[in-house]
Amino acid sequence: MSTVRFAGVSRRFLEITALHPTDLEVRDGEFLTLLGPSGSGKTTLLTICAGYLPPSGGRLFVGGRDVTDLAPRHRNIGMVFQNYALFPHMTVFENVAYGLRVRRVAAQELARRVGEALRMVQLDGFADRPVPMLSGGQQQRVALARAMVIEPDILLMDEPLGALDRQLRKEVQLEIRRMHVARPRTTIYVTHDQEEALVMSDRIAVMRAGRIVQAGSGRDLYERPADAFVARFLGESNLVAGTVQSLGDGRAVLAAPGIARPIAGRAAPGLAAGARAAALIRPEALRPEAGGLSARIVERVYLGELAALRLVLEGGHELWCRCFSAAAPGEDKVEIGWDATAVSILPEVNEP
């Protein structure tokens, strides 16, 4: 079993707390992504797992074994860095074989495993190619093969696609996901790219200011965010600030200045009557509705099949709407409503 369990793990740098005491379990064979803005603590958590940074408190367990005080080389962990960290003077084969040579693997077995790893990342035929002659996407796959060839218990990846262009990022995301589905391995992946997290992950842990704010599947976090921070960070969102008017049966009603009718939606935990909160209305939940709120379309963004519309309500609130381009209203004045089942009332969070 290659479960990973952080038990109260924390990290301080002098007077700065980079990671507050954190409890987190990554299941055997699970692909977990740590998602958050810069400075949220996600890379700190990853480097503690790798053994490159000792925790200030707490313990780390891999497969039920306490590895907190073990050196990185004794943890059997594969690491893929953002800058790949390849050896430019070595061929693709020698780069991938490096970890096996350090472990004194026999030549025949080494060649077999390197060949298998290169086939896995679709680089068979590239073994003798010098690394500087590879594209960025190919170098990223060499780094992935090098991490996987040692058959690690845990695979760690720290924003490995950050240097790739948008189209190549999408292609490599799908490649990594396909490899994981074909051969599941406990994986912890760090990114600040929400789309990347949604595409690749079994589960996502959203981090903010050194704490895990919410963990769950991409669908759970998108449809049922814990608070306004998670809603802002995961997907496009319209957040309308107001005051909780009433609570009951898992629902809440929000009174928002400038909007004539109260906004009802699913009540997130932590709400209280009379407290400040925000209604989350995703752009795709908005729609034209006879007798709805009056709005003006002040901006249209053509996105191919889809169109993004910036709406201004009579009370001054701005909302973004997404719809099929062919169905976008032609006039500038519209009446809008939204799917009430898709609305959430969330606690407001002051950004650090």
84: pLDDT strictly greater than 80 = no
How distant, in Å, are the alpha carbons of 22, 53, 125 from that of 43?
A: 14, 10, 34
Contact 188, 156 (CB under 8 A): yes
| Mean pLDDT, residues 46-61 | 96
| Mean pLDDT, residues 44-58 | 95
Q: What is the pLDDT of residues 224-279, one digit of tens each?
A: 999 999 998 888 899 999 999 999 989 999 999 988 889 999 999 989 999 999 99
| Mean pLDDT, residues 282-300 | 91
39: left (phi over 0), alpha (psi -120 to 50) or beta: left
Confidence at residue 351, expressed as pLDDT on a 0 to 100 scale:
55
Read off the tokens for 116. 């298998």
Question: Which of 122, 158, 136 is closest to 49 using CA atoms?
Answer: 158
Confidence at residue 180, expressed as pLDDT on a 0 to 100 scale:
87
Which alpha helices (H) appear in 130-235, and where do they start and end? 136-149, 166-182, 194-200, 218-223, 228-233
Task: Provide the percentage of residues in the chain whose pLDDT is more than 90.
Answer: 62
Mean residue pLDDT of the chain comes to 90
Q: How confident is the model at residue 137 (pLDDT cuts 50, 70, 90)?
A: confident
Q: What is the pLDDT of residues 294-320, one digit of tens each?
A: 999 999 998 899 999 999 998 889 999
246: left (phi over 0), alpha (psi -120 to 50) or beta: beta
What's the CA gap between 81 and 178, in Å, rounded?
20
Rounded to 5 degrees, φ, ψ at 246 are -155, 160
**Domains in the chain with CATH codes:** 4-228 (3.40.50.300), 229-347 (2.40.50)
Instruction: List the strands of the sheet with 306-313, edge to edge.
Output: 318-324, 306-313, 286-303, 333-338
What's the CA gap between 219 and 329, in Å, rounded?
29
| Mean pLDDT, residues 328-347 | 90
Q: What is the pLDDT of residues 114-132, one digit of tens each?
A: 998 898 888 888 999 999 9
What's the CA gap between 329 and 321, in Å, rounded?
11
The structure tokens 């379990």 sit at 25
Q: What is the pLDDT of residues 143-201, one digit of tens each?
A: 888 988 888 889 999 988 876 778 878 877 888 888 888 888 899 999 988 889 999 99
100: pLDDT strictly greater than 80 = yes
Task: Provide the percentage of residues in the chain whose pLDDT is more than 70.
Answer: 99
